[in-house]
Structure 1
Amino acid sequence: MPRVAEDAAAAGRRVWHLHGSATTQAREHLERFAEELSGVSGTVLLIDSFEELGHLEPWLRDEYLRRLPGDPIVVVAGRTGPSAAWLTDPAWSGTIVIRYLEALTTTESAALVEARGVDPGLRRSIVDFAAGNPFALALAAEVGRSMSATGKPSRRDAVRYVVDNVLALLTGSVPTDTHRQALYVCAHARHTTEDLLRAVVPGGRPAELFDWLRAQPYVEAAAHGLEVNGVLREALDHDLRWRDPAGYERMHRRIRDYVMGELLRDARDPHACVAVMRTISHLRRRGEVVYRYVSRVGEVDVRWSGVTPADHDELVTMARETHGEFTAASVRFWLGRQPEAFSLLRCRKSNRPRAFMSWLTLRTPEREDLESDPVVGEIWHDVSRRMAVPPGAHIAIARHLVCPAFEAEPSLVMDVFQARMMRGWLHQPGLAGSYLVVANGQWWRPLMEYLSHYELERVHADHPHTIFGHDWLADPPEAWRDHHLDEELWAERHPSLFLPQDVSSVDD
């Protein structure tokens, strides 16, 4: 808004500025401006914080602005866009230009913080926290500069001051405690839907809460639900952790139980698989491991497809070109033995195979199974020495993950594969143990260690694969999900606000 005023003044126009917070006298001010503009040409009227003048919008649109004299330029700034009435009214057709102000880039944010004279050790934490919001950047920069210069306030007080002011400015008043709880949920979860609110906010009216959240200017409607982005997400999360630790843990558990329960169990379409993996990654982002193995952006362009006999030769060829003859022979054997274990991803546009995986199930394998695929033979040897598989139970093996375009980095296809495996681990009835066979063990190892999967010692050295396993009888899903709960809840994000980059902890 100041830049608009400067440009207008430089062009020889007279500039009038009204801030929307003056709600009680806003109409009187505007009427006075209209009188003073009488007979004056080349004027610019700036109306800031327009969302606070909602009750005056019909009058402004239908009466006031239409009778302004001369050829004025009217600039309306607000946190919400123009209502449909502006865009559909023929009288305004062709006269409205909409501009969206994006968050500052990392480079711009760093320059702002540097210009404020902030100690270099604190700059990255401020830029990371503010997420491009100019108000949060300026406020945190001034507080950080004071800390460096005077040692006051303490880091704890400084963070609290910044968070409180960010929340006060960006969220304003919240109708009820239930609405505030829904807001905390929306900030903590990756995406928020009515189903999530129903599961996490007992006693609330999920449809009403969803509609209220959707109407807030700081909440965005994404493909898989609502989300709070930028500095407000972090500020809300920090606020609840400090204000109500027990409530924060209770909320986190309920969200995680819903995501890894109902949402994961029902995720069949690749779009849903990617969404649920990004949600799980978000909930475990403080661990800084899962986050590195899940994609963050991009749209899914594949679909699941069953495997038919006509696909067999092409899958064998894909396996040979990606992992060699050893894997190709295994694919051919298991296509003949358990064709239903294979799931194929096809490109939506071309319908060509893009990638595939197999999820073998074994109860009492035959000698031919173990001899024809030495990898499965090694796995069954491990099963025999670790556990007695109960009657009716089985072992599952993610034997083939074949994606010709895959490299050692997160991808949409690997998100889909991971969702399929995790759904099996947590929701497949009668699962006694599971195994994952991969060609790039070095890349998978940190994730498998984090997920409490042990690595099999190589019995035979005649294959290139790495095998990871988990005993679900000894470590059932209910206990497995809580292995990193403390880290998920309380680990500091890095860089944490006002925490020097070269210091892991400070005495507040």
Structure 2
Amino acid sequence: MGRQRELAAFHDLLDPDGVARVLLVHGAGGVGKTALLHRYAWLAARAERPMVWLDGHELDGVEGLDELDLDADGLVLLVDTVERVPGLDRWLRREVLPRLPADAAVVIAGRDRPAPIWRADPGWRELVRVLPLGNLGHEDGLRLLAVRGVPEEEREAALEFTRGHPLALALVADVSAQRRFSAGSAHEVMGELLRGFVDTVPSPLHRQALEACAQVLATTEPLLEALLGLDDAGELFGWLRGLSIVEYGSRGLFPHDLARDALAAELGWRDPDGCERIRRRAAAYYRRQFTEPSRHSVLLDFVYLHRDTSALGPFVVGYPQTSGLSADRPTRAELGTIVSWVRKHEGDESARLCERWLARHDATVIRGQDGAAVGFYLMIDAVPDPEDPATRDLEPGRVRMVRFWMDGRCYQEPSPVQLFITTHLFRSYLTGDCPDRTLLTFATPEPWAEGCAYVDFARLAAADFTVGDHTFAVFCHDWRQVPPLAWVARLAERDALIEAAPAARRTLGEEEFGQAVREALRAYGKADGLRDSPLLSALDLGERELRALFEDVAAQLAASPRDLKAHRALHHTFLRPARTQADAAALLGLPTTTYRRHLALAESRFTELLWQRLH
């Protein structure tokens, strides 16, 4: 059903004038690899090509395969579930394929990505085409549901739930045959998917690792250690990477979308406290890295944790799909595409102004996985300009305005492209030359007001402007009042996930709490110094989590210009202590009396911020 791209690839494989001789198909369990190979077998028979089918489920090893008759002219060799037989991939590459007839066509299908040697070896590079198999597209998914007898009124909901995953579509069809498919029956489908996705899990700890991976956007080895409270998660990380339902990219591991949904949903109702604990640990891990310039990319991951909050939830729908997007400068042809999008969504006058700005500023185009442009944004230095109502009445100053931004297909509606643009802009605020103010423009203010307020962009109604028949709303952040690092710290303060339970106030009064914090700071530098701290039981935290919380509050001090001196005293005395306090004073270049005054202020501010954070 569908799979036009994959079928075209096989037709090319059968073409005597084609270059590729080997097609390497890979994809997660249940995505339809075997069904695709059956289509290939039918096409081979229709072309009257001799065929040999090997199924890893039916083979005990490569022994005896040398006796296969693979000498027929025009042979089509189809190999399914190659990962089931150790060494089968290597045996095919080294022993079988070199002696096949020149016009043979080979398809090897499995869950795992093909070994790098297929593309690295010059002898294979030109002969091989790698074909990742993903979910069915919208029309193909609807067609499959129709063939399976799912009533028309249930198909859109079923397709949205499954995202086109073939096994999930088949399971939904089975449910629908017994009763009407609804959100209530989704648990049944998800449970079956989990059993299909993961055949065996070696231990409860491996299961925890998989569930933790499903809660965050991308998993690295250090993050996995933080999520599970381990000193070394290398073996677990390697196991996750080998799972067919787990993909990996430059930023870490991430589960297949539907597997993520299934795992996250099951953990959410089976162990809500465990789910919350993982997210709280993830938030603490990200926040500790906000002040490191090389780590600003974790802002994407941090926002993903907010997908269930009322303010940001609607705007992070489809977040995993942003992993296939990238930002680049547009080509000359894409400049015309950009203007056509503006004309379509905002009218002719806006399109004229966009052309004018494109001649003076570089736009940023968003590309999909296939390299095609799917959206863009244009940030300008907004000097007063009588030609454009957006900047005509602006006050002089260093102002940057996101003058145009949109998903080419659905404009400013929530989508993966819209979300990618938002987070890409966030990174620019942290890594670029900081202006006095940044202005964001929206076609309508209502859907964005709460989200903008959450990220500290205030409604600036006086700056609203009209172009043609469209009036645009403007939101503003003043970086002179809240600089980038302080802005990140403010966002972090709003993260409800990191807050400990309010039981701390009931267990320790403010004075007792302050004394416990001071004692914990003095014991922080010792290996087991926090083991007996009353803060552990009061906050229901482990020692590792308490240390993470201390580091997080210290980072908040560092992000505030007025608390920077206090942070330096705290850092050199307790967090990364000098040998003596006299040495710490010398490191800071302070007289002893001044150093002690800074240290007293540091302890007071640290305790105050920690108390505020937890109450």
Superposition TM-score, scaled by structure 1 size? 0.60
Distance in 2 between residues matched to 1:125 and 1:182, nearest whole Å: 31
CA contact (8 A) 1:105 1:132 kept: yes
Partner of 1:58: 90
Segments of structure 1 that go 5 or more residues without pairing to the other structure are 303-313, 336-354, 357-401, 424-434, 486-508
1:446 aligns with 2:468: no
1:99 matched to 2:131: yes
Q: Aligned Cα RMSD in Å?
A: 4.4
Aligned-partner residue type, residue 30 of structure 1: L
What pairs with 1:142-161 in structure 2 (closer than 5 Å)? 142-148=174-180, 158-161=185-188
**Residues 75 and 101, structure 2, Cα contact 8 Å, conserved in 1:** no
Asked whether 1:328 is paired with 2:336, we answer no
Q: State which of 220, 227, 232 in structure 2 corresponds to 1:205.
A: 232
Go from structure 1 to structure 2 and tell me whether the alpha carbon gap of 1:327 and 1:6 turns closer, same or farther (over 3 Å shift): same
How much does 1:3 deviate? Answer: 1.0
Partners of 2:127 and 2:475 lie apart in 1 by 64
Report the counterpart of residue 288 of structure 2 in structure 1: 262
CA contact under 8 A between 1:403 and 1:413: conserved in structure 2? no
1:111 to 143, 153, 169: 143
Shift of 1:113: 1.2
In structure 2, the partner of 1:385 is: none
Residues 1:146 and 1:56: Cα distance change in structure 2 (over 3 Å): same
In 2, the alpha carbon distance for the partners of 1:47 and 1:462 equals: 66
Q: Does 2:57 correspond to 1:11?
A: no
Match among 255, 280, 284 for residue 306 of structure 2: 284
Aligned to 1:172: 199
Q: 1:284 to 1:8 in 2, by over 3 A?
A: same
SS of alignment partner, residue 286 of structure 1: coil
Asked if 1:403 is matched to 2:402, the reply is yes
Pick closer, same or farther for the CA change 1:406–1:63 going to 2, 3 Å. closer
How far is the alpha carbon of 1:467 from its aligned partner? 8.0
Task: Report the alpha carbon displacement of residue 112 of structure 1 after superposing the two structures with TM.
Answer: 0.9
Against the structure 1 CA distance between its residues 142 and 319, is the aligned structure 2 distance closer, same or farther, given a 3 Å change threshold? farther
Shift in Å, 1:95: 4.0
Alignment length, in residue pairs?
374
Distance 1:181 1:466 in 2: 42
Contact 1:46 1:76 in 2 (8 A): yes
Report the equivalent of 1:47: 79
Does the aligned pair in 2 maintain the 1:132–1:230 contact within 8 Å?
no
Q: Is 1:316–1:328's contact at 8 Å kept on the other side of the alignment?
A: no
Farther-moved stretch of structure 1 (82-91 vs 14-23): 82-91
User: Does the CA contact (< 8 Å) of 1:455 and 1:466 recur in 2?
Assistant: yes
Residue 346 of structure 1: aligned partner = none
Distance in 1 between the 2:125 and 2:440 partners? Answer: 59
What CA distance in whole angstroms lies between the structure 2 residues aligned with 1:96 and 1:131? 29
1:188 has 2:215 as partner: yes
Paired with 1:452 and 1:403, the residues of 2 have a C-alpha distance of 16
Q: How big is each residue's C-alpha offset from its partner over 1:17-36, in whole Å with a ceiling of 9 and x where there is no partner? A: 22212342x4356355x1xx
Taking a change above 3 Å as real, the CA distance of residues 54 and 322 of structure 1, as seen in their structure-2 partners, is farther
One-letter amino acid of the structure 1 residue matched with residue 258 of structure 2: V
- CA distance in 1 between counterparts of 2:428 and 2:124 reads 52
Query: Shift in Å at residue 284 of structure 1?
Result: 2.5
Give the Cα separation in 1 of the matches to 2:76 and 2:476.
69
SS of structure 2 residue aligned to 1:284: coil
Q: CA separation in 2, counterparts of 1:147 and 1:291?
A: 31
Aligned mates of 1:477, 1:248 — CA distance in 2: 22
What does residue 217 of structure 1 align with?
Answer: 244
**1:27 and 2:62 matched:** yes
Asked whether the equivalents of residues 448 and 468 of structure 1 are also in contact (C-alpha less than 8 Å), the reply is no
- In structure 1, the partner of 2:33 is none
**Contact 2:403 2:441 (C-alpha < 8 Å) held by counterparts:** no
Contact 2:458–2:477 at 8 Å: present in 1 too?
Answer: yes
Distance 1:40 1:467 in 2: 71
1:12–1:42 Cα contact (<8 Å) kept: no
Partner of 2:496, secondary structure, is coil
Kindly state the Cα deviation for residue 118 of structure 1 after the two structures are TM-superposed: 1.3
Structure 1 residues 21 and 203: alpha-carbon distance in aligned structure 2, compared to 1, 3 A threshold: same
Q: Is the deviation greater in 279-288 or in 246-255?
A: 279-288
Q: Partner letter of residue 317 of structure 1?
A: V
Deviates more, 1:93-102 or 1:408-417: 408-417
2:546 is aligned to: none
Whole-Å separation in 2 of the counterparts to 1:132 and 1:143: 16
- Provide the C-alpha distance between the structure 1 equivalents of 2:312 and 2:405, rounded to a whole number of angstroms: 18
Secondary structure, in 3 states, of the residue corresponding to 2:51?
strand
In structure 1, distance between residues paired with 2:112 and 2:171: 23
Q: CA deviation at 1:134?
A: 1.4
Aligned residues of 2:194 and 2:262 also touching (Cα < 8 A):
yes
Contact 2:62 2:87 in 1 (8 A): no
One-letter code aligned to 2:394: T
What is the distance in 2 between the residues matched to 1:417 and 1:286?
22
CA gap of 1:91–1:241, structure 2 versus 1, over 3 A, is: same
Q: How does 1:118-129 map to 2 (within 5 A)?
A: 118-129=150-161
Uncovered stretches (5+) of structure 2, i.e. residues with no partner = 1-36, 330-379, 413-417, 432-436, 465-473, 500-615
Using the TM superposition, give the Cα deviation of residue 279 of structure 1 relative to its aligned residue in structure 2, in angstroms.
2.7
The CA distance in 1 between the partners of 2:463 and 2:158, in whole Å, is 50
- In the TM superposition, what whole-angstrom CA distance separates every residue of 1:185-221 from its partner, at most 9, and x where no partner exists? 2222111222321221212523433333333333222
Contact 1:20 1:47 in 2 (8 A): yes
Q: 1:139 aligns with which of 168, 171, 175?
A: 171
**Per the alignment, do residues 119 and 324 of structure 1 end up closer, same or farther by CA in structure 2, a change over 3 Å counting?**
same
Asked which structure has the greater RCO (Cα within 8 Å, sep 6+), the reply is: 1
TM-score in terms of structure 2 length: 0.51
User: Any conservation in 2 of the 1:109–1:132 contact (CA below 8 Å)?
Assistant: yes
Q: Contact between 1:281 and 1:291, CA under 8 Å: does it hold in 2?
A: no
1:76 deviation in Å? 1.4
Identical aligned pairs, as a percentage? 27
Q: Give the letter aligned to residue 80 of structure 2.
A: D
